[in-house]
Structure 1
Amino acid sequence: FSCLDYEFRHHDYPRTKMWNESRDCCSWDGVTCDLLTGHVIGLDLSCSQFGESIHPNSSLFQLDHLQTLKLDNNNFNHSSIPHNIGRLTNLRHLQLSGFEGRIPIEISYLTDLVSLDLYCSKCELDERTFEAMLKNLTNLELLSLSEVNISSRLPVNISSSSLRYVDLESTNLQGVLTESLFLLPKLETLKLGYNDLLEGVLPKIHPSNTLLELSIPHTGISGELPDSIGTLSSLNLLYLEGCQFSGSIPDSIGNLTQITELLLWGNHFTGHIPSTISKLKHLTQLVLSDNSLGGAIPHVFSNLQKLVSLDLSNNNFTGPFPSSVLNLTSLRYIDLSHNSLNGTIHSWVFSLPSLHDLKLHHNQFNRVDDEIQTNPTLETLYLSHNQLNGPFPRSLANLTSLDFLDFSSNNITGDVGINITFPRLSALFLSSCELKDFPHLLRNLKTLQFLDISNNKIRGGIPNWFSNMRWDSLEHLNVSHNFLTGHLGEFHYHNLEYFDLRFNFLQGPLPSSICNLSSLRILDLSRNNFSNSIPNCLHMMAKLTVLDLRSNSFSGILDLGNNGINDTFPAWLGTLEELQVLILKSNKFHGPISARKRFGFPQLRIFDLSHNAFNGSLPADFFRNFKAMMKNGRDKSDSRYLISNNEVYEDSVRLVIKGNDMDLERISTIDTAIDLSCNHFEGEIPKSLKDLSSLRLLNLSHNNLIGHIPMELGKLNTLEALDLSWNRLTGKIPQELTAMNFLEFLNLSQNHFGGRIPQGSQFSTFENDSYGGNLDLCGQPLSKQCGTSDSSHVPEPLEEEEEEEDESYFFSGFTWESVVIGYNFGLVVGTIMWSLMFKYRKPKWFVEFF
């Protein structure tokens, strides 16, 4: 054992640093010896922080009498399981993790194995080794291969009849689910979930009094749930969520009298909740959400005295709140949202002694009981999107432990004369109601973190008492889409991260206190009448990801959107390293774009400087800063919305086609675009653009660019739209551009190109308009054949007047227009003022892009 001592101890691992050759190795931590022979029969080095691989000839494999080996929760430096593991023929228990690569077939030689636990998400198990395991390891009782990449079918024949526990979750199992595993006579736990390619129907289940857990969630299993499911008389846990089951839930489900957790959500079940569920007296969790169940919710819950969680959301239930939950003293969580329930929310609903969370949003309830007893347990209450009318319900004041209250999208008119104190409330949502004043109850709230009173009818100035509130914990404040007037006073919410005042009538300068918002991530003051200069302190807000100041009357160095400021490029924006979308279009910016060393924007995905007066060349180093555009963005499976700090900022895009508006919502991480059109840029197109491998839209039209199109642009294989029209470009169109397999829009018109138009791939789909005004071009789709010449013309220089007169040529390529329209709590889009407007006759490519 001395070799093993040196091998593991000289690295000073926590479990082995106390190993000492002067002491009997049987006394070492993690070592177990046979009391009679003194042979080492157990070695437990789990959680030992190993960082080295095990050498193939390690002395570990000389422990011929070893029966138990545990090496889990370590890191073996990207190494694979050594083949010599097969020499430990006396092993009964093997537990490994932290390895990578192919699992050796030699493990199937360990025929004495009783338990095999291989947890390694970067390991692969080929079909031959998998079948050999299930054939040779006849003594196996526990098999856990969770997250191992198997990528093969389940074997039809399984010789390991002793199996009690089988975990094959997240292993990329494929093919049809067979009954082979269900025939194992001693099986207690079967876990096959999170294998999308595992399909077929649930096979007929043979009666079993041993199976305790059946877990097949998030697979492609479809069809009806068989009646034979009721023969699993000892079943405790049934997880079938996120599959493709359809039809009715069988009445035989009531025979599972020992079940504690029943999860059937995310399927296509129809019909009613079976009345036999009332027999499941041990049930603690019932989740039937996200199906197509309907009708009135039956009175089946009164016997379920151990029920803790009830979720029937996202179905088609109608009628009143189910009164059969009245006596469920253990119930902590109720979610009946997204149904068509109606009537009154009775006081007894709030009397459930253990209730913590109540979600009744998106229903048709029209009243809350006037009398509610004090409830010290309820913390979360969702009542949004119902038909509640009148003043804020006074009875809710007795919910003294309330932490989260969402009353949005109801017809609540106010709370005048009502004294309500929620001592623990941290989140209050009253958006899209009928409020005409700032709610008085806000005066009593000291612990707010989230406040949304947007989309109401609040008029007049922001009251002094509101501005003077000392909400040190407030992070999210949304007062947008109201009728506020007057000046924005000094405020004291210095920990704000989300501040939205858009679509009001506020005016005057911004208060100096805005400079104290060092944690700000989203600031939207658009669509007001603010004036004076924009504070320079904004460049100190390093966490800022959204800044929208458009459609105001600001003056000074920065104007983001239709304010008409005449200034140079605001280079200080480069210090905002989290900035993802920057649009400065339609202003009077002028001068060159700075390529100074500090210029950053590593996260930028949308960059629009169109319709200004920028000039000078496009510096190659400028585009090398756009690191986020250098990642491959073609795979839509990796698409997600731009987020920032768990708050939602939803942006929409308005596509304008010949005067018709089309709204497209939100920005994805695969949406990348550069629009520098309608400026005075000159010089050649930088070759460094080729590195922006995820770029999907490039518009350099209406400038004074010269030279050839760099052949390197052909490497932009995700590009879907390219507009170089109305420049002074010359030479041939590079054949390399035909490698752009996703290109759906091309405009090279009004340049001085010559020679044959490249053919192949997407170029075969473009029509004459893509090449108009280039009189020396020939070949398809033009009628001019190559080999003929016309010496009677000389290319005319591009005049600015000519551009303006013929601005409509080919629908002017494509342009952008900011139409940022929505915020909602729950998802945050981390962007800065973004919008799109394309004037192009066939928007298919654009619609798919977004």
Structure 2
Amino acid sequence: MYRVAPPTLANLSSSLVSLNLDSCNLGETNGGEFPAHIFQLPNLQSIQLGSNPMRGHFPKSNWTAPLKFLEVVDTEFSGGLPDSIVGLKILERLHVEGTGELPDSIGNLVSLKSLTLAGSFTGSIPASIGNLTQISDIDLSNGNFTGELPFSLGKLVHLTSLDLESNHLTGQIPNAFSNLTKLSVIDLGMNNFRGELPFSLFNLTQPISVYFSNNQLTGPIPTSISSHSGLVLLDISSNSLTGNVPSSLFTIPSLQHLDLSYNQLGGNLDDFQVNKSQLFFVDLSINKLHGPIPRSLFRFVHLTDLSLASNNMTGFLDVEVISQLKDLTSLDLSYNSLSLSLPSSDQNSSFPMFTFLRLSSCNLLEIPIFLRDSMYVHTLDLSSNKIQGHLPEWFWGLGEGFLTYLNLSHNLLTSFQGSLPWPSLSVLDLHSNLLQGLLPDAGSWAEFVFISNNNLTGEIPLSICDKSYTSIIDLSYNNLNGKIPQCLGSFSDSLTVLDLRMNNFHGVMPTKFSNCESLTTLALNGNQLEGPLPHSLHNCKELEVVDVGNNKISGQFPHWLGALPKLRVLVLRSNKFHGAIVSPKTKTWFPMLRIMDISHNEFTGSLPSRFFENLKAMLSVGSNELLKLQYIGPDDGYYQDDVKVTMKGIDIELKRILTIFTTIDLSDNGFSGKIPSNIGKLKSLKGLNFSHNNLVGCIPPSIGSLTNLEWLDLSSNHLTCRIPQNLLDLTFLVVLNFSHNKLEGPIPLGKQFNSFSNESYLGNSGLCGFPLSKDCNPSETKHPSALPFAGQQSGSMFEFGWKVVVLGYGCGVVFGLIMGYVVFSTGKPQWLVTLVEGLQPRKLKRSRIGGRRHRTSN
């Protein structure tokens, strides 16, 4: 084989058989065009073209060279495969990276033995591919192929490997694959296949690896799987399979890797007979399995990975059985209802050398003593147990330099101090314990630090300024004090979350936010910070959440925050902000804002109309928005942005903030003037609170256009006139407060207004009609005076409705909307009463940090 530089291409010998033009800078001197004349070389059988700045289409002239091997990768060719390629009937190997559709004429390559297409090929796979009867290897992975698989694939009797992973293929998986008796690898993962598994494929006797993960497959796993099956690897994770896990799966002698995670499989796992087995990987996590763990699972002597996490497994498990698995390095039994029986410290059982161990929610009372000799553990999760007191001395030598993930959250630990001895630590999670004393040395902190909800005191160590790669710092809900180190404003360009809420920090905020390109969440609520909000925050272009409520911060409204393109949550409540809100001079002002709480300050002046006109993200709810629910904040699945909102005078903490949740709270200020009529344009609003101000004039009828509104509070103002009749259109309204104004005339009757009690209208001497005892004069209303929902029934309905709202925001906004409608349309369904009044709070969290694919963490 010859490697040729571009200047010599014109003088290539006609006797050339093989040509390698990889990384020869072709295209730099000829406008990116490919020198087509080399395809006329009479003896050329092999050509490799890669890593060249070529672009445009393949040459379309006749190719007379007797090519058997063609490789074109790392270029910019487009337009699909031309006839000049598919006319090469003696071609045996074709590897092309490009774009365009796969032509039907691909079936003309009757001598082809290997086909690899990379890049962005589109369209369907033509049925003519079944004409490639000599082919043994097809790789069309990571493309944009669509449509159903052609049944003609079943004619490729010499096929040994078929890789169609990561496309957009649909339809059912054809049973025709059972005809391919030489097939050893089939990968259809990461597509949109539906229907049931092709049962016949599982009874092929030749060794075969099957990857069907991340599709939409349903139905059961075939119970007829024979012990003579040639399955070596079976990955059908992340589908919607149901039924039991057949015991026959575990009796296949050739099976080495079994992944059934992320399905809907249920029932008990039955014991089975273990004969000669090569099984080393078993993942049954994220299903609905229940009952005890069969001891048979611990008889696979070659097992290295075992996960039963996030099921409903019950009973006691003596961990001594684990000691039989000498090769086991990864074990995950988290999130079941298991109780583990640990060996006592004086027992000398030889346990596996774990590198990955998750025993979250396993009713542990202490750190397992068998970890003492786990020198190479890199992931350890013992969260949500009952481990109390101090950590044993030997624990600090755990993992030596290998430990990267440590989760001891939701336990009863009281001490965790000093310098951390794990230089490779990436995740440190100690939140929700009883930790006392000072913070661990910040100089040894990990990339992700979670120490919230403890009883820690003292200041943040200045050694935090020595860090250069920290991404999340969550020290919220402690008793920390002192000043926030100024370096936290710019000490790390990787910092995404700084959460110091509910502590006792005083002094001013960090003033220089200059190195904050990654910062998405700044949460300082519930401290004693004072001084102005630093103007340098406008440098943090990725900010989504700014929560500095409940401090002593002063100054005028930070209008410059409106230039942040991604800001969704702004909480300034309970501070010392003052002055008027000036109308913005730009059309792009708070373009993504969803939650705005500036209540309990000293703002004055009128509400500028343009203030509301620029809140683009609140203007409307798209028709598909409820179907595309997303959460605000980092997408790593671990840290969860939360915020408190006030509904009916109750602080409700939203643990995850849905992007469809929108609210404005301007209460307890000194705003004056009229309510702007354009407030009715903010059609996605779910909560609006203008209470305790000096607002005058009438309630704008445009508020009746806010049809997504669930609570409305205009109390303690100086509003006059009648209540607009079109407010009856607010059919999702659960909480209403018009008390202590100067409203007059009849209260609207019908729909949601029939569910509100007297308290909604107190202090308005001019109002009359239901539910007040004051009747209206006949000249004031023509509406009937008697409707259901009176008296005690009204009160109980209101109370129950409010429980539904709180439940709804705990479980998801959509659930709240639907349940609210059910309650106020049909009354109190008994099943819903039982659910709401008997529901016990739960908290579920998910993590992908520091663990393998499809792992959960709390």
TM-score, structure 2 length as denominator? 0.68
The structure-2 alpha-carbon separation of the partners of 1:767 and 1:288, relative to structure 1 and needing over 3 Å to count, comes to same
Q: Return the match for 1:591 from 569, 580, 591.
A: 580
| C-alpha contact 1:481 1:503 (8 A) present in aligned 2 | yes
**Does residue 1:648 correspond to 2:639, yes or no?**
yes
Which residue of structure 2 lines up, in the alignment, with residue 63 of structure 1? 88
1:300 is displaced (CA, Å) by 3.6
Query: Considering only aligned residues, what root-mean-square deviation do their CA atoms show, in Å?
Result: 5.5
Deviations 1:681-740 (A, max 9, x none): 6486349x75x78655567899568898679x97x88776788999789999899x98x9
| C-alpha contact 1:676 1:699 (8 A) present in aligned 2 | yes
Which residue of structure 2 lines up, in the alignment, with residue 20 of structure 1? 38
Which residue of structure 1 lines up, in the alignment, with residue 841 of structure 2? none
Aligned with 2:265: secondary structure?
strand
Which residue of structure 2 lines up, in the alignment, with residue 581 of structure 1? 569
Distance in 2, Cα, partners of 1:698 & 1:103: 54
**Does residue 1:48 correspond to 2:48, yes or no?**
no
| C-alpha contact 1:261 1:283 (8 A) present in aligned 2 | yes
Deviations 1:617-644 (A, max 9, x none): 7545863463587784854553333224
Q: Counterparts of 1:617-632 in structure 2 under 5 Å? A: 618-619=608-609, 623-624=613-614, 626=616, 632=622
Deviations 1:221-278 (A, max 9, x none): 2222223224422112111122233333343362361122222222233344433345
Which residue of structure 2 lines up, in the alignment, with residue 570 of structure 1? 558
The structure-2 alpha-carbon separation of the partners of 1:191 and 1:697, relative to structure 1 and needing over 3 Å to count, comes to same
| C-alpha contact 1:605 1:629 (8 A) present in aligned 2 | no
Which residue of structure 2 lines up, in the alignment, with residue 548 of structure 1? 547
Aligned with 1:40: secondary structure?
coil
| C-alpha contact 1:633 1:694 (8 A) present in aligned 2 | no
Q: Counterparts of 1:197-212 in structure 2 under 5 Å? A: 197-208=217-228, 210-212=230-232
**Does residue 1:603 correspond to 2:592, yes or no?**
yes
Aligned with 1:50: secondary structure?
strand
Distance in 2, Cα, partners of 1:175 & 1:325: 51
Distance in 1, Cα, partners of 2:230 & 2:391: 57
Q: Return the match for 2:146 from 120, 124, 129.
A: 124
Distance in 1, Cα, partners of 2:175 & 2:423: 62
| C-alpha contact 1:574 1:598 (8 A) present in aligned 2 | no
The structure-2 alpha-carbon separation of the partners of 1:621 and 1:70, relative to structure 1 and needing over 3 Å to count, comes to farther
Identity of aligned residues (%): 27
Distance in 2, Cα, partners of 1:471 & 1:49: 45
**Does residue 1:671 correspond to 2:670, yes or no?**
no
User: 1:596 is matched by which residue type in structure 2?
Assistant: K
Q: Counterparts of 1:714-725 in structure 2 under 5 Å? A: none
Q: Counterparts of 1:482-501 in structure 2 under 5 Å? A: 482-484=478-480, 495=491, 497=495, 498-501=497-500
Which residue of structure 2 lines up, in the alignment, with residue 363 of structure 1? 385
| C-alpha contact 2:688 2:713 (8 A) present in aligned 1 | yes
1:204 is displaced (CA, Å) by 0.9
| C-alpha contact 2:699 2:719 (8 A) present in aligned 1 | no
Q: Return the match for 1:160 from 148, 156, 179.
A: 179
Which residue of structure 1 lines up, in the alignment, with residue 66 of structure 2? 39
Which residue of structure 1 lines up, in the alignment, with residue 508 of structure 2? 510
User: 2:241 is matched by which residue type in structure 1?
Assistant: I
Aligned with 1:574: secondary structure?
helix
The structure-2 alpha-carbon separation of the partners of 1:705 and 1:169, relative to structure 1 and needing over 3 Å to count, comes to farther
Which residue of structure 2 lines up, in the alignment, with residue 222 of structure 1? 242
Which residue of structure 2 lines up, in the alignment, with residue 259 of structure 1? 279
The structure-2 alpha-carbon separation of the partners of 1:137 and 1:721, relative to structure 1 and needing over 3 Å to count, comes to farther
User: 1:123 is matched by which residue type in structure 2?
Assistant: F
Q: Counterparts of 1:470-489 in structure 2 under 5 Å? A: 471-473=466-468, 475=470, 477-484=473-480
Aligned with 1:119: secondary structure?
coil
The structure-2 alpha-carbon separation of the partners of 1:747 and 1:116, relative to structure 1 and needing over 3 Å to count, comes to farther
| C-alpha contact 1:337 1:362 (8 A) present in aligned 2 | yes
Distance in 1, Cα, partners of 2:666 & 2:318: 59
TM-score, structure 1 length as denominator? 0.69
Which residue of structure 1 lines up, in the alignment, with residue 850 of structure 2? none
Aligned residues: 726
Deviations 1:300-321 (A, max 9, x none): 4445333332222223132115
Distance in 2, Cα, partners of 1:489 & 1:39: 72
Aligned with 2:316: secondary structure?
strand
User: 1:335 is matched by which residue type in structure 2?
Assistant: R
Distance in 2, Cα, partners of 1:791 & 1:645: 56
| C-alpha contact 1:618 1:683 (8 A) present in aligned 2 | no
Which residue of structure 1 lines up, in the alignment, with residue 7 of structure 2? none
User: 2:359 is matched by which residue type in structure 1?
Assistant: L
Distance in 2, Cα, partners of 1:420 & 1:673: 43
Distance in 2, Cα, partners of 1:182 & 1:144: 18
Aligned with 2:151: secondary structure?
helix
User: 1:94 is matched by which residue type in structure 2?
Assistant: L
Aligned with 2:117: secondary structure?
strand
1:362 is displaced (CA, Å) by 2.8
The answer to which structure, 1 or 2, has the higher relative contact order (CA under 8 A, 6+ apart) is 1
Which residue of structure 2 lines up, in the alignment, with residue 685 of structure 1? 677
Question: Which 10-residue stretch deviates more, 142-151 or 449-458?
Answer: 449-458
Deviations 1:616-671 (A, max 9, x none): 575458634635877848545533332248573542546655x6776543312232
Which residue of structure 1 lines up, in the alignment, with residue 341 of structure 2? 319
Deviations 1:543-588 (A, max 9, x none): 554443333334x41xxxxxxxxx4x32122244442211345777
The structure-2 alpha-carbon separation of the partners of 1:162 and 1:337, relative to structure 1 and needing over 3 Å to count, comes to same
**Does residue 1:95 correspond to 2:116, yes or no?**
yes
Distance in 1, Cα, partners of 2:781 & 2:363: 76
Deviations 1:33-54 (A, max 9, x none): xxxx963344333443334445
Distance in 2, Cα, partners of 1:88 & 1:696: 62
Which residue of structure 1 lines up, in the alignment, with residue 792 of structure 2? none
Distance in 1, Cα, partners of 2:250 & 2:646: 54
Gaps of 5+ in 2: 1-9, 11-18, 20-25, 51-63, 767-774, 783-797, 803-809, 811-819, 837-858
